[in-house]
């Protein structure tokens, strides 16, 4: 679907897509997250301690393969998760969203980017946030940023998917066709949900210098049940000329030592080397349509590429157990 078709669809059905997104948010507005047994923690770790990244082709992907890879290494590369047509379609969604956000002053952009209603959901996060921030100052306080949904990332290289409601609908429909909802239901042993603040469209160049590593659990709390599906929509890493991702393929069940990086939620490269050695940091090449599955404890960062010549397109979607989820990230029903 090219941008013209997306645009026409959005103009004709904006209210339909916005209403659907509002209903997805409303479903969880008054629901509180409950502690539950994290199924993945029960999995037996069988692989030797090395830094090989498990890989699988999408056409033979099973929930058992996902569970074993996450329990062993905290991550799994799924090759050809999207075919060329689907990856091209997803990239057109990213371009379309950025095109609207690049002209926020336009009346048409304002109309098509009408914000989802978050007031009720935000109100019901206050107790949750206060409780978690007593012990974790990096636990995101979304009550301070929810009124500026389109600006929360503060970078032109990323946009929250939910700021373009048509795209939230299209992506979930595509993932459903790919069987991802069924796989995640088996993985969590509950229905999956997504989130407003951990669902991101990316069109990024390399950072100018190597940056710190991080774990997403720093923003969400350690006790949740998660699986991130990061999909590359362009070739990246290796000799592609676009930044891939650096990460440490080690299964962690808690936060890395905090305070080692330039910020209180980041991890310095030297700290990673001290614990695991330089060989622990891997930077695989991803082809267009490949995906990386990982949980909220994986130590990772955007790769620095000195001779970067093109942007890396990607969509990052954090999925959670619909019982055990980060309330502060505004859960969204699938």
- Return the closest-CA partner of residue 61 out of 182, 174, 170: 182
Q: How far is CA 50 from the centre of its chain?
A: 26
Rounded CA gap, 201 and 272, in Å? 28
Query: Which are the contacts of 270, defined by CB distance < 8 A and separation ≥ 6?
Result: 260
Q: Locate tokens 């946009």: which residue?
A: 159
pLDDT of residue 41: 77
Rounded CA gap, 26 and 119, in Å? 10
Q: Is 301 within 8 Å of 211 (Cβ atoms)?
A: yes
- Sign for the CA dihedral angle at 293, 81, 188, 17 comes to positive
Distances (CA, A) of 173 to 75, 177, 178, 334: 24, 6, 9, 9
The parts of the chain modelled with pLDDT lower than 70 are 1, 43-49, 146-156, 258-259
Q: Which domain holds residue 40?
A: 3-333
Rounded CA gap, 180 and 326, in Å? 20
Number of alpha carbons in the 13 Å side-chain half-sphere of residue 200:
20
CB atoms closer than 10 angstroms to residue 131: 13
- Return the closest-CA partner of residue 170 out of 82, 88, 89, 81: 89
Distances (CA, A) of 240 to 56, 95, 115, 188, 306: 21, 20, 36, 35, 12
pLDDT of residue 153: 45
Rounded CA gap, 34 and 323, in Å? 6
Q: Locate tokens 């897509």: which residue?
A: 17
Distances (CA, A) of 310 to 203, 235, 237, 241, 292: 10, 10, 11, 6, 20
- Sign for the CA dihedral angle at 269, 272, 274, 278 comes to negative
Cα end-to-end distance, the chain, whole Å: 22
Rounded CA gap, 243 and 306, in Å? 9
**CATH code where residue 154 lies:** 2.60.120.620
Strands 245-248 and 199-204: what pairing? unpaired
pLDDT of residue 307: 86
DSSP H helices in the chain: 3-28, 63-73, 84-101, 107-112, 119-123, 126-133, 165-177, 180-188, 217-220, 269-276
Q: How many domains does the chain have?
A: 1
pLDDT of residue 254: 84
Rounded CA gap, 103 and 205, in Å? 21
Dihedral-angle region of residue 189 (phi above 0 means left; psi in -120 to 50 means alpha; beta otherwise): left
- Return the closest-CA partner of residue 227 out of 259, 193, 256: 193
């Amino acid at each position: 679907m090219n941008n013209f078709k997306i645009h026409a669809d959005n103009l004709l059905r904006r209210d339909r897509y916005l209403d659907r997104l509002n209903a997805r948010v409303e479903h969880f507005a008054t629901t509180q997250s409950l502690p539950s047994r994290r199924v993945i923690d029960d999995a037996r770790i069988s692989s030797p301690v090395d830094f090989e990244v498990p890989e699988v082709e999408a056409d033979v992907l099973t929930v058992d393969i996902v569970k074993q890879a996450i329990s062993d290494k905290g991550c799994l590369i799924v090759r050809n998760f999207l075919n060329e047509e689907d990856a091209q379609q997803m990239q057109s969604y990213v371009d379309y969203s950025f095109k609207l956000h690049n002209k926020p002053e336009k009346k048409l952009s304002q109309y098509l980017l009408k914000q989802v209603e978050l007031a009720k959901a935000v109100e019901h996060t206050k107790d949750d946030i206060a409780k978690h921030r007593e012990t974790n100052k990096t636990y995101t306080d979304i009550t301070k940023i929810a009124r500026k949904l389109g600006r929360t990332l503060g970078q032109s290289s990323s946009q929250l998917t939910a700021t373009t409601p048509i795209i939230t609908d299209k992506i979930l429909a595509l993932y459903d066709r790919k069987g991802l909802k069924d796989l995640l239901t088996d993985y969590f042993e509950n229905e999956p949900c997504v989130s407003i603040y951990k669902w991101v469209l990316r069109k990024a160049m390399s950072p100018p210098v190597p940056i710190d590593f991080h774990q997403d659990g720093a923003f969400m709390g350690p006790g949740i049940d998660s699986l991130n599906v990061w999909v590359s929509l362009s070739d990246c890493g290796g000799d592609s000329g676009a930044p891939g991702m650096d990460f440490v393929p080690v299964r962690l069940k808690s936060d890395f030592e905090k305070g080692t990086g330039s910020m209180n939620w980041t991890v310095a490269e030297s700290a990673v080397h001290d614990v695991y050695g330089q060989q622990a940091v891997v930077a695989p090449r991803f082809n267009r349509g490949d995906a990386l599955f990982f949980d909220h404890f994986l130590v990772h960062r955007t790769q620095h590429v000195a001779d970067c010549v093109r942007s890396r397109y990607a969509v990052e979607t954090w999925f959670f157990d619909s019982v055990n989820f980060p309330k502060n990230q505004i859960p969204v029903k699938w």
